[in-house]
Chains A and B, each alone.
Chain A
Amino acid sequence: GAGVSQSPRYKVAKRGQDVALRCDPISGHVSLFWYQQALGQGPEFLTYFQNEAQLDKSGLPSDRFFAERPEGSVSTLKIQRTQQEDSAVYLCASRPDRGRPSEQFFGPGTRLTVL
């Protein structure tokens, strides 16, 4: 497709369940970012990949959060033992070239609700 896609668009999980959120970046984009957006807040950085390498995971809130991008394209954000405070919209963004001052292009997000 032409843009960043994410699936599922909506996810409801019971507290304690594991979830996996998928991001398909724009084809050929080198950089990939995950952000978490709580209700009424701006997005907050979680983690950053350059191709398959995870260069920055400083924003991951706990060791229950894990992200991977094994082949440098599709990325998965996994949350283990979900808790109510994990409820948020998870946004994925990609950027074509780390050396250029280019824009980040965002997907529609996955809205996670933990009951």
Chain B
Amino acid sequence: KQEVTQIPAALSVPEGENLVLNCSFTDSAIYNLQWFRQDPGKGLTSLLLIQSSQREQTSGRLNASLDKSSGRSTLYIAASQPGDSATYLCAVRGAYSGAGSYQLTFGKGTKLSVIP
């Protein structure tokens, strides 16, 4: 059974710092990996999706990398801002076909606080 772990569980940084969030998964047979942001009381906002054949994806100040063989992904946030404060979730979709292959398996998230 796929398990996704995110470290650290919480992170507090001063505004302007660059930071890295970590995600690891136990089964490297994945179809893709997706990073989400969740604000309190809100749903999930998709940030980046990396296909299993890709190494990284970039969107603005965000860069996500994927090392499938080692079961790791990182989300790099450059020049952090108070508005980046949220919980960041990593999720993987398995590569196998059939029932269960479309679902996402999530980590518990990293709660980020960016201090002005």
Output the nearest chain B residue to A45 by Cβ-Cβ distance.
B103
Q: A56-B99, A58-B100, A104-B34 are in contact. Are A45 and B105 (CB under 8 A)?
A: yes
Chain A residues with CB below 8 A from B102, complex form: 31, 33, 48, 55-56, 98
Q: Does B104 have its Cβ within 8 Å of any Cβ on chain A? A: yes
Chain A residues with CB below 8 A from B108, complex form: 40-42
In the complex, how many residue pairs between chain A and chain B have their CB atoms under 8 Å apart?
A: 65
Interface residues on B, range: 20 to 34
Q: Does A106 have its Cβ within 8 Å of any Cβ on chain B? A: yes
Task: State how many residues of chain A have any CB contact under 8 Å with chain B.
Answer: 29
What are 27 A-B interface contacts by the 8 Å CB criterion? A33-B104, A35-B106, A41-B108, A42-B89, A42-B106, A42-B107, A42-B108, A43-B104, A45-B103, A45-B104, A45-B105, A55-B99, A55-B102, A56-B99, A56-B102, A58-B100, A59-B103, A91-B43, A101-B31, A101-B32, A102-B49, A103-B46, A104-B34, A105-B46, A106-B43, A106-B46, A109-B43
Chain B positions within 8 Å of A, measured between CB atoms, are 4, 31-32, 34, 36, 41-46, 49, 51, 89, 91, 99-100, 102-109
